[in-house]
A and B are shown apart, each in its own frame.
Chain A
Amino acid sequence: MEFKFTEENLKRIELAREKYPTALAAVMDTVYIAQEQNGYISNEVMEEIANVLGIDKVYVLSVVTFYTMYHTKPMGKYHVQVCTNVSCMLRGAYDIWDQVKGKLGIENMQVTPDGKFSLEEVECMGACGYAPMVAVNEDYFENLTKDKVEEILDSLK
């Protein structure tokens, strides 16, 4: 499917481009903008990013496949990320992980059939003092209990 940036996003890319002496340096910002618009980074999206920045597609591919926050397939409307690293683990993160897995009925990096939820076990999110924690899309939920997790997941419509 063909992909084109919106006018507004083209302006944002231009601003990102101005931060750096090279076009290549704006690739990470541009991939973020593309992911925001398209939901994930397909082959066509990568081609358009390369086009807009005037760089070889190989560079786009190399970045997209290196960084874990870029997704090459569609994720759920709500991307649920559970940190299970040490500080969270010490405060029950694996119980939360099992709870979320059970409730959503999916495994790590899977999407529910209705496309509403996806799930990811993540590394330390910088919330260790407020553990355990879960992030949904861009928002952090900290100092969680099983009840709070239940409440958060139920509130996502």
Chain B
Amino acid sequence: MEKIVLPEIENLNQIDVYIAHDGFQSAKKAFAQTPDALIDQVKKSGLRGRGGAAFSAGLKWSFMPKSTDKPKYLCINGDESEPGSFKDRQIFEYNPFQLIEGVIITCYAIGAKVAYLYVRGEYHKWIKLMQNAIDTAYEKGFLGEKMKETFGTQFSCDLFIHKGAGAYICGEESSLMNSIEGYRGYPRVKPPFPAQKGLWGCPTTINNVETITNVPPIISKGWEWFSKIGAPKHPGTILFGISGHVNKPGVYELPSGVLLTDLIYNYAGGVPGNKKIKCVIPGGSSMPPLRGDQLEGVKMDAESLKEVGSAIGTGGVMVMDEDTNLLKVLLRITKFYHHESCGQCTPCREGTSWMEKTLHRILDGHGTSNDLDLLVNVANNIEGNTICALGDAAAWPVKFMITRFRDEFEKYVNPNISLPVPNKVHSMRQTAVPLEDISK
């Protein structure tokens, strides 16, 4: 099987080796074409974002205004903080120059002269590796002013790393831009969308690291070639990071649409002790979990996972065996979202806090069946009612874990106590409304 993002070539992270394997030829080819032609090819290739939402990359690029007197920017999202995701760091480590080449081509296509690579602060080691690669690319004339000579074009662009400092929310694109500008990482209300008003109010495109790394092969080998790999509606390979209860956890680059069971049993070596699987989260901790008896025939691409009631997210697959306490897992997930909520929206701030407390109470043995209904209710009230998608990310695990594993959760609560459902959910929803309205 051909690898597009992480080819198995030794020392590919050395610029000489990268060049010897046709490195920067794709950029050369790109500069001989118009930006619109490139956007068109990426659109037709079917490349979809690898950062979570699986949005068409070419379509996103086409939103950038053609005529503007403002500078344009590209942000490459390497915040990689979604629990279960550890794929972008492989690109920083093993194929940094393909990422850089992707940045050059994307900048040219959207008309950006400056690109910022946002990397989570904890990745000190990978930031150093990436900075070394960028410095080398400048020296060798693949970035900055010297590009003009190297490629014989009028175009040049700069690439800078912006180091995050420990905030999951900065992976959200508008929060990421605030963070680059030097503010707290608070998500912005949309619209306006980044292509209209992004960094410093200028047109901006944000793409994930893996998305951008896919660009050079698409330009050099053609969009038809790319569009035929894997699932037709979500083509290409995906870096699947698999963790939890498997024998060989790690990152596997496989064609989209690969069977989930193949990934778990053939690639990741199955479950230790041949135990049964209770639950799989297929795309990072925000995505709806699947039951172990629901896995047969499930394919790993955006459309197929949507059909079975989940989502591809970042491709971070978390496997839990039959002995896993799902209440503890859900509590840990909820604690995470509560901790990472930026606090701007009441439903997210209060809802995550309340859900965490309730799950704690259940774990302590004081929960009732009503609490389970209430949890689902609160989750429903967060979903769709917030500024950014962290609200949904916090709501989905609670909602789907409890509805899909109700039998499991019933074991931890007292079925006999049936208190009237307190009106908490409604009062939470109303907190943004002035008090006099509530009293009417």
Contacts and interface: CB of A to CB of B under 8 A. Distances in A.
B244 A24 contact: no
B366 to A, nearest CB: 21
A28 B244 CA distance: 34
B379 interface: no
Given A89-B329, A91-B244, A126 B163 contact: no
A55 B242 CA distance: 44
A7 interface: no
Nearest to B116: A19
A32 B84 contact: no
A128 B183 contact: no
Interface string B172-202: 0000000111111100000000000000100
Interface in A123-140: 123-131, 135, 138-140
A79 B88 CA distance: 25
A1 B84 CA distance: 43
Interface residues of A, number: 42
B79 to A, nearest CB: 10
Contacts of B328: 89
A49 B80 CA distance: 28
A84 B336 CA distance: 10
Contact of A86 (B81, B125, B333): B333
Given A68-B166, A87-B318, A128 B83 contact: yes
Contacts of A131: 243, 249
Contacts of A140: 125
A111 interface: no
Given A87-B83, A87-B318, A66 B120 contact: no
B242 to A, nearest CB: 7
Q: How large is the interface on B (under 10, 10 to 19, 20 to 34, 35 or more residues)?
A: 35 or more
A22 B86 contact: no
A28 to B, nearest CB: 6
A59 B181 CA distance: 11
A67 B86 contact: no
Contacts of A126: 80-81, 85-86, 88-89, 120, 122-123
- Most chain B CB atoms below 10 A, which of A90, A127, A138: A90
- Most chain A CB atoms below 10 A, which of B162, B168, B281: B162
- Most chain B CB atoms below 10 A, which of A67, A130, A140: A67
A62 interface: yes
Contacts of A139: 124-125
A102 B390 CA distance: 35
Contacts of B241: 128-129
A22 B200 contact: yes
Interface in A114-128: 122-128
A9 interface: no
B245 interface: yes
Contacts of B84: 86-87, 124, 128
A139 B122 CA distance: 9
Interface in B54-68: none
Contacts of A86: 83-84, 244, 281, 285, 318, 329, 332-333
Interface string A73-111: 000000000001111011100000000000000000000
B250 A129 contact: yes
Given A90-B245, A126-B81, A129-B249, 20 more contacts: A20-B160, A26-B182, A28-B162, A28-B179, A59-B183, A62-B184, A63-B182, A66-B184, A66-B185, A67-B185, A68-B165, A68-B166, A86-B83, A123-B168, A124-B81, A124-B83, A126-B85, A126-B122, A128-B85, A130-B249
Interface of B: 71, 80-86, 88-89, 116, 120-125, 160, 162-168, 179-185, 200, 241-245, 249-251, 281, 285, 316, 318, 320, 324, 328-329, 332-333, 336, 339-340
9 contacts: A59-B182, A62-B183, A63-B165, A67-B166, A85-B336, A86-B83, A86-B285, A124-B285, A126-B88
